[in-house]
Amino acid sequence: MVHPRVLQAMGTPLVGHLDPVFLSIMDDIQAALRWLFRTRNALTIPISGTGSAAMETAIVNLIEPGDSVMVGINGVFGTRLASMVERCGGHAIRLEVPWGQPLNPEHIEHHLRTTGPIKAVAIVHAETSTGTHQPLEHIGQLCRQHKALYIVDTVTSLGGMDVNVDAWHIDACYSAAQKCLSCPPGISPITFSDTAVDIIRHRTSPSTSWYLDCSLIADYWSESKRTYHHTAPISMAYALRESLRLIQEEGLDVRIARHQRNSRALMAGLQTLGFEPFPTADYQLTTLLCVKLPSFIDDLKIRKALLQDFHIEIGGGLGPLAGKVWRIGLMGESSREEHILALLSALEQLLARIFHHRSIGTAVAAAMATWSQSKNSYA
C-alpha cells in the first residue's frame, strides 16, 4: 500500500536532475535518510534501481577481485548476496544455517578468528523469504574487533523495525522503497560509513559496475560538486521524499511500535486458524509474517481466491518453502488494523466456503483481543 500523498507526488511535473529545485529535494532526502538509518554518514543516498540494485551497490563498491566475504545464508537473499560477491571476483564464504533460524554470533566469531583475512561480513537483517529476524548489534562488535567491514541488508526492516547504523557499527546498509517505506519500487536507500567510503575511494581496480560506482555517484550527491553521473529517477525521488515525510510525521518509534502491535495481532488470529510461525521463536519479523500452512489448506487455491475475490495479495514460499509457507507483508501503510481484519475475515470466509471450517469469527476475535491488551491500541 502506498499513501495517496506519495501517489500524488509521483504525478508531479518533472524538473531536470541538476535543477536547483531538484537539488534541494536531494538535500531533503539525504537528511531524512540519515535520520531513518540513525547515522551521520555523509554518503547516504538513494540508488537509481530497486532493492537488488542497492544490494549490488554495496557489494560491487566494497569488494575487489580476491577479497573474502563471509555471507550469512538462511534464505533467498543471503544466497543472492553470495552470488553478487562471486560475480565481481570476490570469494564468498557461505555461513549456512537452516532457513528460519538466525545466524549465531559465536559461529561468526569462530570463522573470523580461524579463517584467513575476511574483508567483510554480509548479513540480512530481515529475511523476506523466511520472515526471520537477525539481531545485528553483537555481530557489528565482532566485525569491528576483527577489522571486517559490516554489510547489512535492511530491505524488509528499514522504516518498520529499529535500524541503528552508527551504534551497531554498520559500514554499508541498504534497503528498498517498496517495503516499510511504502514508496513505489524503483529507488533504494543506501548508506556507507566513512571507513567504507575511504575503501571505495582507494580501490586498486574500478568497480565492475559503472552505473552503481559510488566513487562517481558521490560527486553528484556532494553539495559542493553536483557532477553529472547518470540521470536520477526524478519522480521516484519525489515519491521517496514524500514517503520519508510521512514517516517523520508519524515518528519512527511510534511506527516501529505499530508494526510490533499489528504483527502480534495478526499472528494471534492466524494461529486460531491453524497457522504456525515458521521462524524459530523470538526471531519473528514484525514486518513480514512467515507462517506454515495447516495441512488442509491448498496454497495456490486460497491465495488465488484471496487475490481475485478480496484483492489481498499474499506471498507464497520461495525455493524449498514453495507450497509450505505464506509470507504476509505488514509493512508501512500495509501494517494497519483494517488490513489485518480484512485478511482474517476473508480467510475465515474462504475456509468456511471451501473446507467447511466452522469457527467463523475466532480469528478476528483473537486479533482484537491482542490489540486491546496493548496500551494505546486504538491510538
Return the ∠ at Cα 28 (arms to 203 and 166), rounded to 5°. Answer: 50
Q: Lay out the site mask for a second copy across 276-295 (x = CB under 8 A, - = otherwise).
A: --------------------
User: Which one of residues 34, 87, 111, 138 is an interface residue with a second copy (CB under 8 A)?
Assistant: 87
* Distance in Å, CB of 225 to a second copy, minimum: 14
Half-sphere exposure of 358 (CA within 13 A, CB side): 0
88 binds a second copy (CB under 8 A): yes
Q: Is 327 exposed, middle or buried (0-12, 13-18, 19+ CB in 10 A)?
A: buried
231 binds a second copy (CB under 8 A): yes
* Distance in Å, CB of 371 to a second copy, minimum: 27
* Distance in Å, CB of 260 to a second copy, minimum: 25
Half-sphere exposure of 128 (CA within 13 A, CB side): 22
Neighbours of 352 (CB within 10 A): 13
- Please name the residues in contact with 96: beta carbons below 8 A apart, sequence gap of 6 or more: 73, 74
CB 328 within 8 A of CB 315: yes
* Distance in Å, CB of 38 to a second copy, minimum: 25
* Distance in Å, CB of 85 to a second copy, minimum: 10
Identify which range of 85-93, 94-102, 250-258, 360-368 contacts a second copy by CB under 8 A.
Answer: 85-93
Half-sphere exposure of 269 (CA within 13 A, CB side): 29
CB 2 within 8 A of CB 185: no
User: Which one of residues 23, 234, 252, 354 is an interface residue with a second copy (CB under 8 A)?
Assistant: 234
CA distance 178 to 156: 9
* Distance in Å, CB of 55 to a second copy, minimum: 8
Half-sphere exposure of 300 (CA within 13 A, CB side): 1
* Distance in Å, CB of 112 to a second copy, minimum: 26
Instruction: Considering only residues 199 through 218, tell me which ones interact with a second copy, judged by CB under 8 A.
Output: 206-211
* Distance in Å, CB of 366 to a second copy, minimum: 27
236 binds a second copy (CB under 8 A): yes
CA distance 261 to 263: 6
Identify which range of 115-123, 227-235, 244-252, 274-282 contacts a second copy by CB under 8 A.
Answer: 227-235
350 binds a second copy (CB under 8 A): no
The three three-digit cell numbers of residue 173, written as one number:
546498509
The three three-digit cell numbers of residue 196, written as one number:
567504507
User: Which one of residues 92, 108, 181, 232 is an interface residue with a second copy (CB under 8 A)?
Assistant: 232
Looking at the Cβ atoms of 5 and 147, the one nearer to a second copy is 5
- Please name the residues in contact with 354: beta carbons below 8 A apart, sequence gap of 6 or more: 298, 301, 302, 305
* Distance in Å, CB of 322 to a second copy, minimum: 11
Helix axes 214-221 and 194-201, enclosed angle (nearest 10): 120
Q: Lay out the site mask for a second copy across 37-76 (x = CB under 8 A, - = otherwise).
A: -----------xxxxxx-xx---x----------------
158 binds a second copy (CB under 8 A): no
Q: Lay out the site mask for a second copy across 4-23 (x = CB under 8 A, - = otherwise).
A: ---xx-xxxxxxxx-xx---
User: Which one of residues 90, 186, 189, 279 is an interface residue with a second copy (CB under 8 A)?
Assistant: 186
User: Which one of residues 230, 245, 292, 336 is an interface residue with a second copy (CB under 8 A)?
Assistant: 230
Task: Summarize as ranges the residues that interact with a second copy (CB under 8 A).
Answer: 1-2, 7-8, 10-17, 19-20, 48-53, 55-56, 60, 80, 83-84, 86-88, 176, 178, 184-187, 206-211, 228-236, 239, 307, 313, 318
